Homo-oligomer: A and B are copies of this chain.
Amino acid sequence: MAAAGAARELTQNPLQKTWEPYDNGLPAGHSAQRGVCMTNCPTLIVMVGLPARGKTYISKKLTRYLNWIGVPTKEFNVGQYRRDLVKKYKSFEFFLPDNEEGLKIRKQCALAALNDVRQYLSEENGHVAVFDATNTTRERRETIYKFGEENGYKTFFVESVCVDPEVIAANIVQVKLGSPDYVDCSNDEATEDFMKRIECYKNSYETLDETLDKDLSYIKIMDVGRSYLVNRVMDHIQSRIVYYLMNIHVTPRSIYLCRHGESELNLKGRIGGDPGLSVRGKEFAKSLAQFINEQNIKDLKVWTSQMKRTIQTAEALGVPYEQWKVLNEIDAGVCEEMTYEEIQENYPLEFALRDQDKYRYRYPKGESYEDLVQRLEPVIMELERQENVLVICHQAVMRCLLAYFLDKPAEQLPYLKCPLHTVLKLTPVAYGCKVESIFLNVEAVNTHRDKPENVGVNRSREEALRTVPTHL
C-alpha cells in the first residue's frame, strides 16, 4: 500500500462508487475502507462464568451484533462440542471435578473448539471468535491466552457474575429446561440436576481478580448489568464491544417495527422522495392507532424518521414521538422518485449492478444497504437500551433493523419481506427473537421487488423488469 513517489490514479468502483487506486489498469492494494472497526489482528473473546450466568446469551447476542455491523464473527460453544462427542447426557456427575473420564472429554472438546477458532480466524478471514465455555479457572484461561498469543490474536475476557437466585432460576427455565441435555427429563428433574451441575464448578471458580489479572483485558459484568469492571481496553473493537455489553439488558419487552402508511409515490411505483400518505395510508395510520391502543403497551416509545410519511403515520397515534433523521429511507441519489421502469430506461447498468449485489450497491450520489447499516447502528444501540418501542420507518431501513434482530446475513437482508400496513412484533425469547406479523387489514400496493433471474448487464428490458410489482 505504501507506494512512494507519484500518486496513483484513482478509479471509481462501479458497484460501491468508492474511489480506489490502480496500477496498470488493475485495482491496487486498495486503501482500507472504514467499514467499522479495522481489526488489524483477530480478536478472541473468552467468556467466563458459572453455568446459567448468561454466557451463551451474551455470546450469541454479541456475535449477532458484530456480524450485523460488518465484523465477521463466530461463536464456539464448547458445550455443543461436548454434546456432539458424548451423544447422550446422563447426569451432572459428568461434571464432577474428580470424574477423570469427564475431565478428559471436556478438555478434548475445548481443544477441538480452539482448533476451529484457529481455523476461523487464521484461515477463513474471521475477525472475531467468541469462545463460549465456563473458563472458570485461572489455569484454563492461561492456556487460552497462550493459544491467542501464539496465533497473534488479541484476547478479551467477558465474565458474567451473578449471585441472585431468582435470576439464575429464570435462566434455567428460559434456556436450560429446553436443552438437548434434558430432553427426556421433567422440569423438576432437569432443574435439580442443573443446580448440582453448577455446584461442580463452584469450588474451583476463580473470578477475574483486579490484582491477579490486572494485565488482562476484560469486562466483568455483575448482576446482569448493574455494574461493570472494565480493564485494559486495547483497541477500537474492544471499546465497541464494551459499549454494546453495557447497553444491553434482559428486561422483557417488545419492539414493534412497521413502515409508514402507503404513500402517494408508493401508489405510482416510485421510490424515495418525501410524499404524504395516500387515502389508504391514512386509513392504516388510524388502524395502527387502534392496534397500539389494544396492545396496551406499558410506556411505549414511538420513533419516526424525519420524512413526512412516517410522521403523518405517527400523528394518528396521538402520543408523543421522536423523529430520527438516521431513520430516513435509503437515499436513491439520482434515482430518487423514479419508477423501476424509468431506472431501467435511464440507468440500465446501475439497475443490473444493483441486482448483482443489492447489499453493497450504492446509488449514484446515494447510499447502499451497507451504508444504511452504518447509519442505523445508533438506533440499534438505543433500541437495546430501551424497553417497549414502536419504530415507524421505511422499507430498506426496516429490512436492516429486522436483519439485526433475526440474525439475517447481508445477502438476505435486502430481500426481507417488509410489506406496507404490516406490523412486526419482536419479542426476545431464549437466545433469539419471536416474530409476530400483524397485517392491519388495510390494502396497499406491494413494493417488494424480488431478485430477477437474469442479473447480467446485457439482459433485456423485459428480464430486468420481470419482478417489478404492479402499480398505477
Binding site for B on A (CB under 8 A): 1-5, 7-8, 10, 12, 18-19, 21, 31-34, 38, 210, 214, 226-233, 236, 239, 242-243, 246-247, 276, 282, 285, 303-304, 306-308, 311-312, 314-316, 318-326, 336, 365, 371, 374, 382, 385
The 14 listed contacts between A and B (C-beta, < 8 Å) are A1-B319, A3-B318, A10-B276, A10-B312, A19-B307, A31-B320, A32-B321, A32-B322, A34-B322, A214-B227, A226-B232, A228-B230, A239-B385, A325-B371
Task: State whether A323 and B31 are in contact (beta carbons under 8 Å apart), knowing that A236-B385, A316-B7, A318-B4 are contacts in the complex.
Answer: yes
Chain B neighbourhood of A38, CB < 8 A: 322
Complex Cα spacing A320 to B38, Å: 13
Report yes or no: B32 in contact with A306, Cβ–Cβ below 8 A. no
Report yes or no: B230 in contact with A323, Cβ–Cβ below 8 A. no
Across the interface, name the chain B residue whose C-beta is closest to A379.
B34
Chain B neighbourhood of A319, CB < 8 A: 1-2
Chain B neighbourhood of A8, CB < 8 A: 315
Report yes or no: B318 in contact with A2, Cβ–Cβ below 8 A. yes
Complex Cα spacing A376 to B412, Å: 29
Report yes or no: A246 in contact with B233, Cβ–Cβ below 8 A. yes
Report yes or no: A320 in contact with B232, Cβ–Cβ below 8 A. no
Report yes or no: B3 in contact with A306, Cβ–Cβ below 8 A. no
Q: A12-B308, A31-B322 are in contact. List 11 more A-B contacts (CB 8 A).
A: A2-B320, A7-B316, A8-B315, A10-B312, A32-B321, A33-B306, A33-B323, A228-B229, A228-B231, A229-B229, A239-B246
Complex Cα spacing A205 to B325, Å: 46
Chain B neighbourhood of A365, CB < 8 A: 336
Chain B neighbourhood of A230, CB < 8 A: 227-230, 246
Report yes or no: A1 in contact with B320, Cβ–Cβ below 8 A. yes
Report yes or no: A239 in contact with B229, Cβ–Cβ below 8 A. no
Report yes or no: A10 in contact with B315, Cβ–Cβ below 8 A. yes
Complex Cα spacing A326 to B371, Å: 10
Report yes or no: A323 in contact with B4, Cβ–Cβ below 8 A. no
Chain B neighbourhood of A5, CB < 8 A: 318
Report yes or no: B374 in contact with A325, Cβ–Cβ below 8 A. yes
Chain B neighbourhood of A336, CB < 8 A: 365
Complex Cα spacing A430 to B4, Å: 37
Complex Cα spacing A193 to B393, Å: 61
Across the interface, name the chain B residue whose C-beta is closest to A36.
B378
Task: State whether A231 and B226 are in contact (beta carbons under 8 Å apart), knowing that A2-B319, A322-B32, A323-B32 are contacts in the complex.
Answer: yes
